[in-house]
Amino acid sequence: MASNVTIIGRATRVRGRLTGAADLDVQGFVEGEIAVSGDVTIDATGMVGAGVQGRKLVVRGAVKGDLVGEEAVLLEEGARVVGDVRAPRVAIAPGALVRGYVQTGQARAPRAQATTSAAKPAATRVPAPAAARGAATAPAAVRVASASGTAATTAPGKAQGAGAARRPPPPIVPALKKAKGQIAKRKER
């Protein structure tokens, strides 16, 4: 039997919630919230009128709602999203259109207004191994900063996603740290 894939066909409209442990392929119209533990693909013909939660979200269609991926959110050409996007890994291809707040799992502490929303999603999610792959490209300072303040529930060694949202404003770029030091000195004068 095929792996647990649910297909909402192109001529299908679902007015209600969609939950469960399965992968989902939306080619039609889902008016309610989607919250599954598997991967969700919104095809070019797919439309979702509420939030989508899953492990890896790939969007080529239209979504009016927040996209929250435990592992990643990939917006491909043709995607049209009005809503927030949160995942350890977020990629937005040229041609994908977004209107909303976007946060990747390892973003440095954002400005004051965003900090509260940053802490929220990471607290409940266990970051997937893919988060560690994203960390590999980061300068060493990031790993040092995010290793502290990690929630006990997250997988050991893979805590980048949750840790990043919790840690105090870090100097991510070593050069920036130096610059900040110099700026601080200047301010003292």
Partner 1 sequence: MAQPRTTTRGLEPREAHEARIGSGAHVRGRIRGEGSLVIEGHVEGDLAIRGDLTIAEGASVKSEAVEAHAVTIAGALDGDVVATGPVRLAPGAQVSGNLRGSAVAIDDGARFAGRLDCDFDLPPELGGASRAPQGEARARVAARR
Partner 2 sequence: MASTVIGAGITIEGEITTDEDVVVAGTVRGKLSAKEAISIEHGATVEADVVGGSLVVAGTLTGNVTATERVDLQPGARVVGNVKAARVTIADGAQFKGNVDMDV
Binding residues vs partner 1 (CB under 8 A): 29, 33, 47, 49-51, 62-66, 72, 74, 80, 82-83, 89-104, 106-111, 114, 118, 134, 137-138, 172-173, 175-176, 179, 182-183, 186
Contact partner, 26, from partner 1, partner 2, none, Cβ < 5-8 Å per class: none
Residues 28-87 that bind partner 2 (CB under 8 A): 28, 31-32, 36, 38
- Smallest gap from residue 69 Cβ to partner 2 (A): 18
Q: Which of 10, 9, 40 is nearest to 22 (CA)?
A: 40
What does the alpha-carbon distance between residue 35 and residue 21 come to, in Å, rounded to a whole number? 9
Does residue 112 touch partner 2 according to CB under 8 A?
no
Which residues does 88 contact at the CB level (< 8 Å), separation at least 6? 69, 70, 71, 72, 104, 105, 106, 127, 128, 130, 131, 134, 160, 161
- The answer to whether 49 and 67 have CB atoms below 8 angstroms apart is no
CB 176 to partner 1: min, Å: 4
Among residue numbers 9 through 28, which ones bind partner 2 (CB under 8 A)? 9-24, 28
